[in-house]
Structure 1
Amino acid sequence: MTSQLPLAGVRITDFTWIGAGSYTTKILADAGAEVIKIESIDRVDSLRLAAPYKDGIKGVNRSGYFADRNSSKRSMTLNMKHPRALELVSRLIRQSDIIANNFTPGVMDRFGLGYEAVRAMKEDIIYLAMSMQGSTGPQRHYLGYGATMAAVTGIQHLTGLPGREPAGTGTNYPDHIPNPCHATFAVLAALRHRRRTGQGQRIDMAQTEPTVALLGPAVLEYTANGHVPQARGNRHPQAAPHGVYRCVGDDRWIAIAVMNDAQWRGLRDALGKPAWMGDAELDSTQGRLERADEIDEQLNQETGRYVVEALVDLLQQHGVPAGRVSTAADVIADPQLRHRGHWLSLDHPEMGPSLYNAQPFRNARSPAGQARPAPLLGQHTREICSTLLGLNDAEIARLTEEGALR
């Protein structure tokens, strides 16, 4: 039951869009919060226009990317340029606990929804603003997405092969991990603070800063030793072998990380004690690091004789950290994820049964999320106007005709 969820009874007026902001409020929605996503027909959330589309058919309600980031929410469409829109949002805010946005500083002020204005509507409101660079500083108005943040914070510099151009992570990593998780943590802390003191909170989060926090070892290497770390591919400075190795089949690979001498012995035993692995110099980490290139070349020959899944099982039985380099199809079919109930099939109003991620954790004292499909654009506008804003059918029709509701 929804009432059993940790954030049951918490309402969020949600102006976030695209990646990190939408994922933040999804986490809160899955934990039981009622999230009302404020959208615009004139300027649609660009994630609604992002592939992949269900059945390859484009449409604002058919993006799998948008759907997965906006499950368990309701959608209300407003024209914030219309003078009546602020009145409607004000009514909603007075009934909300949190208002969230990830716009560039100044956008919410132009809507009449800066922090002080919102606090005047609801004194104990929790106000989450998560722009790229925060609300102060010489770069506060800079625009950016996940890839931009990965670049300016140093992640791209450290990603890729030595001597090659920065490769990035293959996805907008800041949008998926550091930023939504830190923002969610800040909101939960603010809710606890309000429960204890009755005071609201302004949360000013620069999305670059949680991303910088991921670079702790690289920052320390520079501040302590004056050395600027460079990209090293799959190599590890204190472990060998540590990399990705070919297996039987087209583009099938295994990741192996030997972190100590015991795991090296396990690898050697699992592979049938090949002669080259019996060299005494390889029995120590330092010896293996000095001959890492040779080990990688030889190990590729050994792993190339195995089917990846069988080799993973074999190495794990011998205490060697190893995992298949999975494709999206592999991940969806993964037996461990299936056992955990990670994948949900939810019946979307337009796309039909669609695959969603469940919460990545299980609470022993509450169910695992609300598990409702993402909303259609404006799907709940009339419902919210009627049940929360107290508008009758005639008023809703008039505001729609005037262009305040879309």
Structure 2
Amino acid sequence: MSRLPLAGVSIIDFCWVGAGSYMTKLLADMGADVVKVESTRSLDSLRLAPPFKDGVRSVNRSGYFADRNSSKRSITVNMKDPRGVEIVRALIAEADIVANNFRPGTMEKLGVGYDQLVALNPGLIYIGMSMNGDEGPDRMMLGYGITMAALTGFLGLSGYPDREPTGTGTNYPDHVPNPCHGAFAVMAALRHKRRTGEGQKIDMAQTEPMLALMPTPVMDFQVNGRVATRQGNRDAAKAPHGVYPTTGDDRWIAISVGTDGQWRALTRILGADSLDRPEWRALQNRLKNCAAIDRAIATHTLQRDGYELMDALQAASVTAGVVQNAADLIDRDPQMRHRDHWRYLLHAEMGNSIYNGPPFRFASGPVGPRLAAPLLGEHTREILEVRLGKSPEEIDVLIAQEVLI
């Protein structure tokens, strides 16, 4: 196997829950040695988040935690004991990157803030991912993915115009914009360090990548004073553009028509003469009659199998996709299978478990989850013996004195 892109890069990971943990997962899956600093007295709350393997609640059986922490190693350290802090500082002295997503000031209270570490390791890359960044009047606000989605206006754009905002059904900031922006910033800092030898501090406010996702409504307000509103599934340049029922229990298909040629193909495939009205043949007229068109399409799609209809529409160059559930994505999606997206790894407590692969590939060789998520403190002895040269007897004493806990 070829050398992984980040092989040899060492990361000390203080991140909890979503975006930070997913960012370091991306780096770990590309070969970085990520050591997750934990404690039995202050658990990453994601370890207690369902679903649990076989429904058995345990700090080592959360599928949510596992998927966010593949390819990592875990140590348990009491950061309230000065000896625990010194152990972590000794690991950081030889590391390339320190990552956290705490509120500003938390790392400093633990004794591992950037200014406390840069003299110890001048080439250190230090990334903090708080909600609003380290500076400004709102720096101390505590926020999670759903909070950031609301604060930035993202939730306000999700849903139907005549109803309350619906959101996206998940903490979207934790899964896409923030971990990806954080990983990109770290990669840029690694490149800079390789060229100059210089480390740097990265202060990434997680609200900023969210705003970068919405350039059109932001610029439309700044330039024209227009406030964007919820549009449901509608699109200003496409009609029909929606989600329609198909045969089966709660089964749906998304269809998007951007040209008059696609409209003709859709009406032909649906066998719907009732849709082929002269007043609907032009896009501008369809945009004015979206509601009526949606109702008419739904009466025809309801009689069709979603996958069969999707294949027929795609073959005719009409954008369409079945709305898939988890079982569909894992068992039926040919693209996921082709790209080897789902990986199965042997977990020490959960057994053979499924993990997400990365949404990208490298020509130089495969990347992705290499190791199952760690048990809580699974690698404490290994890391202290190999990295810090501590003897088994010394480690036994530190465990007995609750320094490693």
Normalising by structure 1, report the TM-score: 0.98
Structure 1 residue 225: deviation in Å? 2.2
Offset from partner CA, 1:272-302 (integer Å, 9 cap, x none): 3x22332222122111011111100100011
**Who is 1:106 aligned against?**
105
**Who is 2:57 aligned against?**
58
Matched, 1:319 2:317: yes
**SS of equivalent to 2:119:** helix
**SS of equivalent to 1:243:** strand
**Who is 1:269 aligned against?**
268
- CA separation in 2, counterparts of 1:79 and 1:345? 33
Equivalent AA in structure 2 for residue 257 of structure 1? S
**Who is 1:278 aligned against?**
276
Offset from partner CA, 1:346-401 (integer Å, 9 cap, x none): 11000001111112222111222352100000000000000001101121111112
8 Å Cα contact 2:74/2:377 also seen in 1: yes
8 Å Cα contact 1:345/1:356 also seen in 2: yes
8 Å Cα contact 1:74/1:380 also seen in 2: yes
Which stretch shows the higher mean deviation, 201-210 or 353-362? 353-362
Runs (4+) of structure 1 exceeding 4 A deviation are none
Structure 1 residue 178: deviation in Å? 0.3
Offset from partner CA, 1:43-89 (integer Å, 9 cap, x none): 10000000000000000000000000000000000000001012111
Which stretch shows the higher mean deviation, 277-286 or 396-405? 277-286
For residues 226-245 of structure 1, what are the structure 2 equivalents within 5 Å?
A: 226-245=225-244
Structure 1 residue 236: deviation in Å? 0.8
**Who is 1:174 aligned against?**
173
8 Å Cα contact 1:4/1:367 also seen in 2: no
For residues 23-102 of structure 1, what are the structure 2 equivalents within 5 Å?
A: 23-102=22-101
Offset from partner CA, 1:17-63 (integer Å, 9 cap, x none): 10000000000000110000000110100000000000000000000
**Who is 1:300 aligned against?**
298
Equivalent AA in structure 2 for residue 27 of structure 1? L
Equivalent AA in structure 2 for residue 324 of structure 1? V
Note the aligned Cα RMSD (angstroms).
1.0
- CA separation in 2, counterparts of 1:262 and 1:117? 64
Q: How many residues align?
A: 404
**SS of equivalent to 1:388:** helix
- CA separation in 1, counterparts of 2:96 and 2:234? 47
Structure 1 residue 245: deviation in Å? 0.5
Match 1:310 to one of 308, 311, 320: 308
- CA separation in 1, counterparts of 2:352 and 2:384? 28
Q: Which runs of 5+ in 1 are unaligned?
A: none
For residues 1-400 of structure 1, what are the structure 2 equivalents within 5 Å?
A: 1=1, 4-272=3-271, 274-333=272-331, 334-400=333-399
8 Å Cα contact 1:5/1:31 also seen in 2: yes
Which stretch shows the higher mean deviation, 94-103 or 214-223? 214-223
Offset from partner CA, 1:247-290 (integer Å, 9 cap, x none): 11111110001112221122122223x22332222122111011
Equivalent AA in structure 2 for residue 308 of structure 1? G
Which stretch shows the higher mean deviation, 332-341 or 181-190? 332-341
8 Å Cα contact 2:189/2:199 also seen in 1: yes
**SS of equivalent to 1:85:** helix
**SS of equivalent to 1:227:** coil
**SS of equivalent to 2:275:** helix
8 Å Cα contact 2:357/2:369 also seen in 1: no
**SS of equivalent to 1:265:** helix
Offset from partner CA, 1:113-142 (integer Å, 9 cap, x none): 111111011000000100111000111111
Percent identity at matched positions? 56
- CA separation in 2, counterparts of 1:107 and 1:121? 19
8 Å Cα contact 1:30/1:371 also seen in 2: yes
8 Å Cα contact 2:267/2:273 also seen in 1: no
- CA separation in 1, counterparts of 2:21 and 2:276? 53
**SS of equivalent to 1:37:** strand
- CA separation in 1, counterparts of 2:342 and 2:359? 10
- CA separation in 2, counterparts of 1:164 and 1:292? 18
Equivalent AA in structure 1 for residue 24 of structure 2? T
8 Å Cα contact 2:11/2:34 also seen in 1: yes
Normalising by structure 2, report the TM-score: 0.98
